[in-house]
């Protein structure tokens, strides 16, 4: 059996707000840690039948970046759900929601700029 390790480093300010997020994977071809402005990690606890999550973002993460991040996560979750279940129709429903979510975000941003 092969072991793979993912290391996540979070640099916090004095108020424990993330300033920097970096990560590195033992199986990656990248030699240096990769920087990120946000992260969402979820683990499935089969015993409790619940998701355990770690959601962090740096204080310089912009609102439009957060919307892009969530749109892309929703789209990738839809793809993962499709691969795991073969339920194409439900995956497409998730993608439709993601598109609606992002369109509403952009409309809200435009309205706030006026």
pLDDT per position as a tens digit, 12-50: 999 999 999 999 999 888 889 999 999 999 999 999 999
Query: What pLDDT digit, counting tens, does each position of 42-85 carry?
Result: 999 999 999 999 999 999 999 999 999 999 999 999 999 999 99
pTM for this one?
0.88
Asked whether the CA dihedral 112, 75, 44, 50 is positive or negative, the reply is positive
Question: Which letter does DSSP use for residue 3 in this model?
Answer: -
Which has the closest alpha carbon to 88: 79, 96, 97?
A: 79
């Amino acid at each position: 059996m092969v072991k793979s390790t993912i290391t996540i480093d979070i640099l916090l300010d004095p108020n424990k707000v993330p300033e920097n997020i970096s990560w590195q994977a033992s199986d990656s071809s990248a030699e240096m840690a990769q920087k990120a402005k946000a992260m969402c990690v979820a683990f499935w606890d089969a015993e409790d039948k619940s998701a355990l999550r770690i959601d962090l973002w740096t204080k310089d993460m912009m609102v439009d970046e957060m919307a892009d991040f969530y749109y892309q996560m929703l789209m990738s979750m839809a793809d993962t759900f499709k691969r795991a279940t073969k339920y194409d129709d439900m995956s497409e429903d998730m993608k439709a929601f993601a598109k609606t979510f992002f369109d509403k975000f952009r409309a809200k941003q435009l309205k706030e700029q006026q």
